[in-house]
Amino acid sequence: MKNIIEFTTKNILEGFGLYLEEFNELTALAPEFFKNRQWTAMQANHKKRLRLYKDFIAKCRVKIIQEIGEFKNKSTFWLEVKQHFSMIISNRKDKELAETFYNSIIRKTFADLAVDDSLMYVHEGYNTCDLHPNKNLYHTYPSAWGLQKIIRQIMDDFDFGVKYFNKEEDIQLLVRAVREVILTRYEPTKDTVTQVLKSVFYRNKAAYLIGRTRVGGKWMPFIIPFLHNENGIYVDTMIFDPRVMAHMFSFSRSYFMVETDIPSQMVSFLNAVISHKQIHELYNAIGFNKHGKTEFYRDFLIHLENSQDQFEIAEGIKGMVMTVFTLPSYNIVFKLIKDHFEPPKDMTRQQVKDKYKLVSLHDRVGRMADTHEFEYFSIPLDRVSPTLMQELKNTVNSLLIFTEKTLIIKHLYTERKMIPLNLYLESCDLEDAKLAVEEYGNSILQLAQANIFPGDMMTKNFGVTRQKRVIFYDYDEIEFLTDMNFRWKPQAETYEQIYAPTPWYNIAKNDVFPEDFKRFMIGRVDVKPYFLSYHEELFNPDYWSQIQESIRKGELLHAFPYPKEIRFRPEQPA
**pLDDT tens for the 574 residues of the chain, in order:** 678 888 899 999 999 999 999 999 999 999 999 999 999 999 999 999 999 999 999 999 999 988 888 887 788 889 999 999 999 999 999 999 999 999 999 988 886 666 677 888 988 888 788 888 788 899 999 999 999 999 999 999 998 999 999 999 999 999 999 999 999 888 899 899 999 999 999 999 999 999 999 998 899 999 999 999 999 999 999 999 999 999 999 999 999 999 999 999 999 999 988 888 999 999 999 999 999 999 999 999 999 999 999 999 999 999 999 999 999 999 999 999 999 998 888 899 999 999 999 999 998 999 999 999 999 999 999 999 999 999 999 999 999 999 999 999 999 999 999 999 999 999 999 999 999 999 999 999 999 999 999 998 999 999 999 889 999 999 999 999 999 999 998 888 787 777 778 887 888 889 999 999 999 899 999 999 999 999 999 999 999 999 999 999 988 888 899 999 999 998 877 6
Helices 147-157, 167-178: axis angle to 10 degrees equals: 130
> Domain 307-417 - what CATH class?
alpha beta
- pLDDT for 498: 76
Q: Which residues lie across from 208 on neighbouring strands?
A: 201, 225
Coil, helix or strand at residue 224:
strand
The type of residue at 463 is G
CB-CB contact of 11 with 63 (8 Å): yes
The pLDDT value given to residue 125 = 82
Catalytic site positions: 370
Could you give the 3-state DSSP secondary structure of residue 573? coil
Q: What does the pLDDT read at residue 254? A: 92
Whole-angstrom distance, CA of residue 239 vs CA of residue 230: 24
Q: Specify the pairing of strand 511-512 against strand 485-486.
A: parallel
Separation between Cα atoms, residue 381 and residue 47, nearest integer Å: 38
Query: Could you give the residue ranges of the DSSP H alpha helices within 232-347?
Result: 242-248, 263-273, 279-285, 289-305
Which CA distances in Å does 357 have to 30, 315, 362, 367, 371? 23, 25, 9, 16, 10
Q: Which architecture characterizes domain 421-553 according to CATH?
A: Orthogonal Bundle (1.10)
3-state SS class at 70? helix
H or E element in which residue 574 lies: none
Write down the pTM of the prediction: 0.93
Per-residue model confidence (pLDDT) at position 500: 79
